[in-house]
Amino acid sequence: MAKDLKVGIIMGSDSDLEVMSEAAKVLEEFGVSYEITVVSAHRSPNLAHKYATSAKDKGIKIIIAGAGGAAHLAGVVASLTSLPVIGVPIKTKNLDGLDSLLSTVGMPPGVPVATVGINSAKNAGLLAIQMLALSDKNLDDKLVAYKNKLEKDTKIKSEKLLKVGYKKYLPARNASGIADAGGKK
For the stretch 22-53, pLDDT in tens is 999 999 999 999 999 999 999 999 999 999 99
Give the length of the chain.
185
For the chain, what is the HEC assignment? CCCCCCEEEEECCHHHHHHHHHHHHHHHHCCCCEEEEECCCCCCHHHHHHHHHHCHHHCCCEEEEEEECCCCHHHHHHHHCCCCEEEEEECCCCCCCHHHHHHHHCCCCCCCCEECCCCCHHHHHHHHHHHHHCCCHHHHHHHHHHHHHHHHHHHHHHHHHHHHCHHHHHHHHHHHCCCCCCCCC
What does the alpha-carbon distance between residue 164 and residue 12 come to, in Å, rounded to a whole number? 46
What residues make up the domain containing 27? 7-135
Q: Does residue 90 sit in the same domain as residue 117?
A: yes
Are 23 and 104 in a shared domain? yes
Q: Is residue 185 part of a domain?
A: no
Note whether 87 and 19 are same-domain residues: yes
Domain-located, residue 184: no
- Tell if the pTM clears 0.85, that is, is over it: yes
Residue 181: inside a domain, yes or no?
no
Looking at residue 184, its pLDDT comes to: 54
Looking at the structure of the chain, the number of domains it has is 2
Asked whether residue 2 is assigned to any structural domain, the reply reads: no
Q: Residue 85 above 60 pLDDT?
A: yes
Q: Are residues 54 and 127 in the same domain?
A: yes
Q: Same domain, yes or no, for 84 and 170?
A: no
pLDDT at 177: 65
Query: Do residues 58 and 81 both lie within one domain?
Result: yes
Q: How many CA atoms does the CB half-sphere of 143 hold within 13 Å?
A: 19
pLDDT, average across residues 136-144 = 96
Question: Does 118 lie in the same domain as 31?
Answer: yes
Q: For residue 21, what is the domain's CATH number?
A: 3.40.50.1970
- Same domain, yes or no: 84 and 14: yes
CB of 103 closer than 8 Å to CB of 89 = yes
Same domain, 165 and 125: no
Same domain, 13 and 44: yes
